[in-house]
Copies of this chain bind each other. A is one copy, B any other.
């Protein structure tokens, strides 16, 4: 059920080395400016081990040394940071309404981003277009001078946990597409890591991995767009991403929140998607599929029907958040997806509902922080880049 970047089970000395290298790298990522001594204290490794590994990572361009960190009454330590100058991570997001690509540094800083808003057609045509975008980006001088660690691609549907195959993307009409194999012939010179993941999983991973400050111990990301999905990430140095037996983890759009409610395209009644998805809102307001949802809604101005629809959708989203909270109890929740561009009329009722109902089980404990990403255009692509880095860190 769990797919992870850290191997499970047995291992040899080489595995131990990788584990420790990755752990040290993770410590620097989470605590920028940490010294070798800080790392040793945190990882429980000895100074000697840390020193050796850090030396190797400095030479390979993964880490750089910074200023001296004064220590009370002793020799100051040398601050360490991820080296943002030598490598580049590529991420691509195949969305229902367009393609987005991103290039970023080891620290998650976006160096360049590009998007087209034409909806993908067939896998082949999409691969051709995506390859052109990626090659153009990579050939840009800013990117070309760096070593590319790999490419991560996200898709709007469940991916098989065993193989990089998109199982089903109802909104694209794709079934069982091994997209990396379709794409690879068009980008033969792209070596390094290639990976495929679900859009919400990757977004969740990125929010966790590139979190500013000390990251929470777990994150649930809710992606509200044409459909609705969620991603879960947890773990310390080696983020764990549960995907499920069939890759269906996070298909929360089809959890039932209103028994006997509207019929969903999945065949059931009262699925969350009948209340809080792009197509549900379109259906409720009679907005054509060709129109841009956000512009169509803002064009209506102050409209009681719009307000009521978005409030209902927001409350359903709040219910979903509440149910995820009671099922997964994450340390942080992140709201993203194109629907977030509808802004406060949708978000306020969701947060209000969640706030009003969340904390009745354990009184007096801290509330779950919620982050709203109002423009998550590149969130999934950046998350895919984060996944590339996590994998590369183990292989480095």
Contact = CB atoms under 8 A, between A and B. Distances in A.
Interface of A: 1-2, 6, 8-13, 15-16, 19-20, 23-24, 26, 43-45, 158, 167-168, 216-218, 230, 234-238, 240, 242-252, 254-259, 266-268, 315, 319, 322-331, 357, 360-362, 365, 368
A36 to B, nearest CB: 14
9 contacts: A1-B329, A8-B235, A10-B20, A158-B362, A217-B245, A245-B331, A246-B329, A251-B361, A254-B360
A302 to B, nearest CB: 27
Contacts of A258: 258-259
Q: Which 4 A-B pairs have the closest CB atoms?
A: A244-B329, A1-B218, A248-B329, A10-B23
A368 B243 CA distance: 15
Contacts of A16: 11-13, 15-16
A361 B8 contact: no
Copies in the complex: 2
Contacts of A331: 1, 245
Nearest to A365: B246
A237 B9 contact: yes
Given A45-B12, A267-B360, A259 B319 contact: yes
Given A259-B258, A267-B360, A44 B326 contact: no
A256 B256 CA distance: 9
A248 B217 contact: no
Contact of A245 (B266, B330, B361): B330
Contact of A9 (B23, B259, B357): B23
Contacts of A368: 245
Contacts of A11: 16, 19-20
A218 to B, nearest CB: 3
Given A10-B44, A217-B245, A266 B329 contact: no
A251 B44 contact: no
A256 B257 CA distance: 7
